[in-house]
Amino acid sequence: MEIIIKEIPEEGMQLHLDSKKDGWFRQALSDSLSDLYKTGDKGEGEFELLRIGVNVDCSGVVDCDCHPTCCRCLKVFPSHMEVPIHLTLAPLYESERQLKLEQKDEVALVKDDLEFSYYEGDDFNLGGIIREQVILALPLQTLCKKNCKGLCQRCGKDLNEGPCDCKQEQADPRWRPLKAFKAKR
């Protein structure tokens, strides 16, 4: 959704987003979450946009259901994400970073860059911001529960459902020669 900056009123603009009603919001969620986002997963957003001089302060939170895959047992499980967003949008050409880039100075990606973004012209795309921030918030590893036992490396059984039959043979293979040696003696 394109936000025309000069249309943001003096007192700020409040947005209540619902993935059931706002197609562009649903699209932004499904773009950033891809396989994690299933039809029927709820998504809500609350945003406040405030003009501060030439900058726009964009703060809010995205709340959504998702269906990640557990990295241990490979089960898809229902989960929930809450992504707080706080960004200051500055006009591209007035940003120091852009000036530095033009002077071909090396610009280190400092943490501040993550909380700063830029707009070009007189509008910006809120869907793009939401996409970017949700992707940044995605956990690298997801577990269906903290103590998920995962799958047996040998038979593939889900060990959360109980031990498998090959448990006995799972001893550390490095000890096997020692066992054989002891048996010989």
Q: Which residues bind Zn ion (CB under 5 A)?
A: 70, 72-73, 144, 148, 152, 154-155, 164, 166
Alpha-helical (H) ranges within the chain are 23-33, 96-102, 111-114, 126-137, 176-184
96 or 165, CB closer to Zn ion?
165
CB of 57 closer than 8 Å to CB of 50: yes
Q: Residue 167 Cβ, how far from Zn ion at the closest point, in Å?
A: 7
Q: Please say which residue, 61 or 76, places its beta carbon nearer to Zn ion.
A: 76
Q: How far is the CB of 144 from Zn ion (least distance, A)?
A: 3
- Smallest separation (angstroms) from Zn ion to the CB of 139: 14
Minimum Å distance from CB 138 to Zn ion? 17
Query: How are beta strands 13-18 and 2-4 bridged, if at all?
Result: unpaired
- CB of 102 or CB of 161, closer to Zn ion: 161
Cβ neighbours of residue 167 under 8 Å, at least 6 residues apart? Answer: 152
Closest CA to 1 of 96, 149, 147, 129: 129
Nearer to Zn ion, 115 or 165 (CB): 165
